Homo-oligomer: A and B are copies of this chain.
Amino acid sequence: MAKAPNISLPQGVRDILPEEAQKIGFVERTVLSVFEGYGFKRIITPLLEYVDVLSLGTGEWLRERVLKFVDPTTGRIMAIRPDITPQIARVVATRMRDCPLPLKLCYNENVLRYQDPTSAKSKELLQIGAEYITEEPSPEVDAEMIVMAVEALRSIGLEDFRIDIGDVGFVRAILRGLELDEHEKVLLKDVIAKKDTSGLEELLKGFGDRISREERDILFTLTSLYGEEEIIERAMSFSRNRATEEVVENMHIVLEILKKRGVKGFITVDLGEVRGFDYYTGMIFEGFASGIGKPILSGGRYDTLIERFGYRCASTGFAFDVENIVSALNTHT
């Protein structure tokens, strides 16, 4: 091989050569065609946004992960979009508020976000996603989105995957009842998310008798509330307030629908799950293909995000990580 000059790329972006690009093209065409079959219509959002506008929707987690720079025309701070969902929330709340609900929108775009606010490592992601916007939240919408995600994955030839379903409302509702300050609750959420029982033990010791024996049992149960459908029954048995009951009822209906639609075999439940964007308000889900450590899809319900742009409506959405899906295809087929 002849000597090439020293030519480098910024970290976080890369060249995708024909062999992989062809697979990406196949995934794009197939997934968008499944989405279309479910009545979703594509929209195309801009590469750049003003940070102050975008921040209405991103929440803190994303806001710290945005690549920003000054708009030379106006002096305002611009960002490369880190996520499409807040952009769609903006579009729906401004330019599409006269369209009758429900609105089913999908997209196929590149986004750029930092992996971690401290390391300054950014990454370009290729995403194909969908948002199902209705007047009121409903478990039927949540279930429909999961059914569609399963069908899209099977259409591209994946069978060996699972979708973990949780609900940000469950842990939040339990933490809300505790006599702890916000910082302590964040620490608690963190050990529960990691299912770190010894970390939890340690933390609870520090809280002393501010945590009752019953609350202690519930917190430990949260680290093991994952598995199959029986989790729902276990959760019902200790549902202690209206908020946790609602979560369990919603998830029960979702699982019944998934059973009827024949996709139950791909689903696991995790009621200790707390990951995902700050804008999620209800059910959350992540998809994993065996042998691939990173999620191939993630999504959830966000019932207050569009309202932050001035229009009250409910929504559930998710996005596939196209490159992780191609990794899964390479491993499995």
Provide 12 A-B residue pairs closer than 8 Å at the C-beta atoms, listed in order of the A residue.
A4-B309, A5-B56, A7-B309, A9-B49, A10-B46, A11-B73, A13-B47, A15-B91, A17-B96, A24-B42, A44-B126, A46-B124
Q: A9-B46, A12-B48, A13-B48 are known; give 16 further A-B pairs, CB within 8 A.
A: A1-B97, A4-B93, A4-B94, A4-B309, A8-B50, A9-B49, A9-B50, A10-B46, A16-B43, A16-B45, A18-B105, A20-B44, A21-B42, A21-B43, A21-B44, A48-B124
CB-defined interface of A1-44 with B at 8 Å, one 1/0 digit per residue? 11111011111111111101110110001001000000001111
A40 nearest in chain B by CB position: B18
Are A48 and B112 in contact, CB atoms less than 8 angstroms apart? yes
- A11 to B45 Cα, complex, angstroms: 14
Within 8 A of B (CB), among A92-108: 93-98, 105
Within 8 A of B (CB), among A241-272: none
A69 within 8 A of B: yes
Within 8 A of B (CB), among A31-82: 32, 41-50, 53, 56, 69-74, 76, 78, 80
A187 within 8 A of B: no
A120 within 8 A of B: yes
A154 within 8 A of B: no
Shortest Cβ gap from A66 to chain B (Å): 11
A91 nearest in chain B by CB position: B15
Residues of B within 8 A of A124 (CB): 46-48
A88 nearest in chain B by CB position: B15
Given A21-B42, A44-B15, A44-B21, CB of A10 within 8 Å of CB of B310? no
- A90 to B5 Cα, complex, angstroms: 10
CB-defined interface of A103-135 with B at 8 Å, one 1/0 digit per residue? 001000010100000001110101000000000
A311 within 8 A of B: yes
- A34 to B184 Cα, complex, angstroms: 59
Residues of B within 8 A of A41 (CB): 18, 21-22
Are B4 and A16 in contact, CB atoms less than 8 angstroms apart? no
| Listed residue (A5, A50, A309) with the most chain B CB atoms within 10 angstroms of its CB | A5
Number of contacting residues on A, CB 8 A? 65
- Per assembly, the copies of the chain total 2
Taking beta carbons and an 8 Å cutoff, which residues of A are in contact with B? Answer: 1-5, 7-18, 20-22, 24-25, 29, 32, 41-50, 53, 56, 69-74, 76, 78, 80, 87, 90-91, 93-98, 105, 110, 112, 120-122, 124, 126, 309-311
- A70 to B95 Cα, complex, angstroms: 33
Residues of B within 8 A of A44 (CB): 15-16, 20-21, 24, 126
- A311 to B21 Cα, complex, angstroms: 23
Residues of B within 8 A of A121 (CB): 73
Residues of B within 8 A of A76 (CB): 10
A24 nearest in chain B by CB position: B44
A13 nearest in chain B by CB position: B46
A108 nearest in chain B by CB position: B25
Residues of B within 8 A of A74 (CB): 10
Are A18 and B47 in contact, CB atoms less than 8 angstroms apart? no
Residues of B within 8 A of A56 (CB): 5, 7
- A229 to B185 Cα, complex, angstroms: 78
